[in-house]
């Protein structure tokens, strides 16, 4: 139990917290400072292995930390940006200190001259005989920039059913969409929701932002028939029956209004894959699988082991027998051996899914997309899942990521995601982070990082406390950005940061400096420091993905008509009288439409009230986005069908079918992929974007400014 706040000398606790990156206060606005509870500070310190339970413990821990910082030659990780001056950690070494580097490739070098990009081992030897070792991250100055200006489609993959998918959109549907969008519509990218492996359950949590693992994808997205061994599998009658059942599941969603049932889809696919994976791999396929296993090493073994153990003991490792809660225990090793067949099954599934993800990216690039598939990196993982089990040493026990109270949520938020420990990341040279990025960049043309502010700091909430009683814990943003720049450059991939909401001063500037694009959503782009009116296009930032909406917001049609207010009213989510909310929503839409009209993007003389000609108004919104200098323009695919329903309604659980809705038209009728791509409404919207592209040959150079 943490001691009461008054038992601590405030200055000692504040100094100790500061030396470990734990905040004792924060500023939600320039003119407002909020002090966090001392209990949150002591809990965060405890999760970092620092005892601050009383005045004596605080003084002892403070003395230990100050002595450690005073005596060490090097911090655990040092960053060297290409073309920059030596970092302060090296510039401050005693005169005459000798530096030796062992590179990633095993080459020994004296000094820091001409080091290749990578994460190397640095040894410093001072004249007095003291030595220090550190991981040295040598990173490119900036991340890759988009190759010219382009527009793309944003879609939740599960919602995009075709007449061939098994009840939810799959990776073959993604490849079809990308191939069509690149060749026919001139799109440069397709952005999808996180496709990370989910925690199985009854029912499975449908949110793609609470995965079991971010290191491996979910095999529920596989197109079973596209697995080469499917053609040679025995039990054709059994497989045929599964395909028929999948057809009925698909028809229930597309024709009968059923919600997407991920668990039912997976049950069919799992049974089919059991038969398919009985087929031996050919020599070439076996070599490819062996290479995949070698590339992912222990991470893949851990993931497959967790999946196999979850089948026996349930999906929450915290409730497993004690011997199995430690991934390195002898009991786990024995269980892995006993379940070798199931471990192999789940390893093969990870490989098959990786292969179809890479096939989708190839299809996108072959269709002429300069970026291709943009994958989404969730901010964290489920505490019961595979990553939290396998990487317990780098997660902060007893803490959860969330957000402090703000203008939109006075109670704050607790996302129930365990945070990484910044000290353990630094001690490993950010190995878990590097491995995660490397795995995703195998098949991503670009990466969207959810809550990119988490590279700088995260709001830690102690277990059992309300979100209001948390505190910010800081990460080494320089190191996090350097590793990101290193891996993105190696992959030739663009990075987009989701930087919506409250952002600490200096964060957007730091991200822009390193080439991480931001996210700008039309309805939020107002002159907040001036008259609060809609921001004209020339004042938008260039280094961003500009969109009209996101998966957490109403589609554009609902925003223009005010349907989003009616939905929240029906669900009891309004915090003010409905009439006030409606009036504000109407005024908001009217202001934007007036700006569109003044710019000649919408004929107001022929228009009625907002929403009366929603197709033309939605096209005008996207004409406006093209007027901005944004490097990437995103089109929310449901806007091309007229769908009025958000895919996720924050603040709801069972009250609303979050993450389970198929893409539909303005009447709520599900629209299959084949029909959507011939829809005059979608084609008319994309024609606006296609006409707004730069002429062929312009805007194709990679900018580094």
d(CA 430, CA 78) in angstroms, rounded, equals 11
Residue bearing tokens 């062992």: 102
| Structure token digits, residue 365 | 């690039």
pLDDT of residue 695: 41
**Mean pLDDT score, 101-110:** 96
The pLDDT tens digits for 619-659 are: 999 999 999 999 999 999 999 999 999 999 988 888 999 99
Q: Convert the pLDDT of each residue in 497-517 to its tens digit.
A: 999 987 899 999 999 999 999
pLDDT greater at residue 374 or residue 83: 374
Determine the Cα–Cα distance for residues 202 and 314; give it in Å rounded to an integer.
Answer: 10
How far is it, in rounded angstroms, from Cα 200 to Cα 312?
A: 12
**In the predicted model, is pLDDT for residue 606 greater than 70?**
no
Q: Tell me what pLDDT residue 298 has.
A: 97
Mean pLDDT on 36-46: 97
Cα 528 to Cα 222: distance, rounded to the nearest angstrom: 45
pLDDT of residue 529: 86
Tell me, what's the pLDDT at 692?
Answer: 74
pLDDT tops 90 at residue 565: yes
Q: Taking 50 as the threshold, does the pLDDT of residue 3 lie above it?
A: no
Calculate the average pLDDT of the chain. Answer: 94
| CA distance linking residue 174 with residue 191, whole number of Å | 10
Q: How far apart are the C-alpha atoms of 434 and 431, rounded to whole Å?
A: 5
C-alpha–C-alpha distance, residues 409 and 698, integer Å: 45
Read off the pTM.
0.94
Name the token pair of 405. 């109270």
């Amino acid at each position: 139990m943490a001691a009461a706040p008054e038992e601590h000398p405030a200055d000692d606790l504040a100094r100790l917290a500061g030396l470990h990156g734990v905040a004792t206060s924060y500023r939600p606005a320039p003119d407002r400072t909020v002090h966090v509870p001392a209990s949150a500070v002591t809990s965060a310190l405890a999760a970092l292995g620092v005892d601050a339970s009383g005045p004596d413990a605080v003084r002892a821990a403070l003395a230990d930390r100050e002595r450690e910082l005073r005596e060490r030659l090097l911090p655990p990780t040092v960053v060297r940006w290409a073309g920059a001056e030596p970092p302060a950690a090296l510039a401050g070494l005693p005169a005459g200190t000798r530096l030796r580097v062992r590179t990633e490739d095993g080459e020994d070098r004296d000094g820091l001259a001409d080091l290749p990009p990578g994460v190397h081992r640095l040894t410093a030897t001072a004249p007095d005989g003291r030595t220090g070792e550190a991981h040295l991250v040598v990173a490119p100055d900036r991340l890759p920039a988009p190759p010219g200006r382009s527009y793309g489609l944003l879609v939740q993959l599960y919602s995009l059913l075709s007449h061939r998918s098994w009840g939810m959109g799959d990776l073959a549907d993604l490849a079809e969409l990308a191939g069509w969008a690149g060749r026919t519509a001139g799109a440069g990218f397709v952005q999808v929701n996180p496709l990370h492996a989910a925690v199985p359950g009854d029912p499975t949590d449908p949110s793609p932002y609470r995965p079991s693992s971010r290191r491996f994808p979910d095999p529920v997205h596989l197109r079973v028939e596209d697995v080469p061994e499917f053609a040679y599998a025995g039990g054709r009658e059994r497989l045929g029956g599964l395909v028929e059942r999948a057809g009925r599941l698909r028809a229930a969603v597309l024709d009968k209004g059923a919600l997407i049932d991920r668990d039912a889809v997976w049950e069919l696919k799992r049974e089919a894959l059991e038969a398919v994976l009985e087929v031996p791999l050919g020599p070439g396929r076996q070599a490819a699988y062996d290479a995949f296993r070698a590339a992912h090493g222990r991470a893949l073994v851990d993931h497959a082991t967790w999946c196999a153990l979850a089948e026996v003991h349930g999906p929450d490792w915290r409730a497993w027998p004690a011997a199995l809660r430690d991934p390195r225990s002898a009991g786990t090793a024995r269980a892995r051996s006993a379940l070798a067949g199931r471990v192999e099954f789940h390893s093969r599934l990870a490989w098959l899914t990786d292969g179809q993800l890479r096939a989708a990216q190839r299809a996108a690039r072959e269709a002429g997309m300069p970026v291709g598939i943009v994958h989404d990196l969730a901010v964290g993982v489920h505490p019961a899942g595979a990553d939290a089990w396998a990487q317990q040493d780098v997660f902060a026990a007893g803490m959860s990521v969330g957000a402090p109270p703000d203008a939109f949520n006075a109670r704050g938020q607790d996302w129930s995601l365990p945070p990484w420990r910044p000290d353990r990341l630094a001690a490993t040279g950010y190995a878990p982070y590097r491995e995660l990025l490397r795995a995703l960049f195998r098949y991503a043309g670009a990466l969207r990082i959810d809550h990119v502010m988490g590279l700088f700091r995260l709001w830690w909430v102690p277990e059992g406390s309300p979100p209001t009683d948390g505190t910010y814990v800081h990460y080494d943003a320089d190191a996090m950005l350097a590793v990101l720049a290193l891996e993105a450059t190696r992959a030739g991939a663009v990075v987009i940061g989701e930087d919506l909401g409250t952002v600490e001063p200096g964060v957007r500037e730091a991200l822009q400096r390193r080439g991480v694009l931001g996210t700008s959503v039309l309805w939020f782009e107002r002159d907040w420091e001036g008259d609060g009116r809609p921001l004209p296009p020339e004042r938008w930032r260039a280094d961003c993905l500009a969109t009209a909406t996101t998966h957490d917001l109403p589609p554009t049609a609902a925003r223009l008509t005010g349907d989003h207010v009616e939905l929240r009213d029906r669900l009891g989510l309004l915090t003010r009288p409905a009439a006030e909310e409606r009036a504000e929503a109407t005024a908001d839409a009217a202001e934007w439409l007036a700006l569109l009209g003044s710019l000649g993007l919408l004929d107001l003389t022929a228009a009625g009230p907002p929403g009366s000609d929603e197709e033309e108004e939605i096209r005008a919104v996207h004409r406006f986005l093209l007027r901005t200098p944004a490097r990437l323009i995103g089109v929310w695919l449901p806007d091309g069908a007229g769908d009025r329903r958000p895919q996720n309604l924050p603040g709801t659980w069972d009250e609303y079918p979050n993450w389970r809705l198929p893409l539909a038209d303005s009447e709520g009728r599900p629209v299959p992929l084949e029909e959507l791509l011939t829809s005059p409404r979608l084609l008319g919207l994309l024609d606006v974007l296609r006409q707004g592209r730069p002429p062929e040959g312009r805007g194709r150079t990679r900018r580094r400014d």
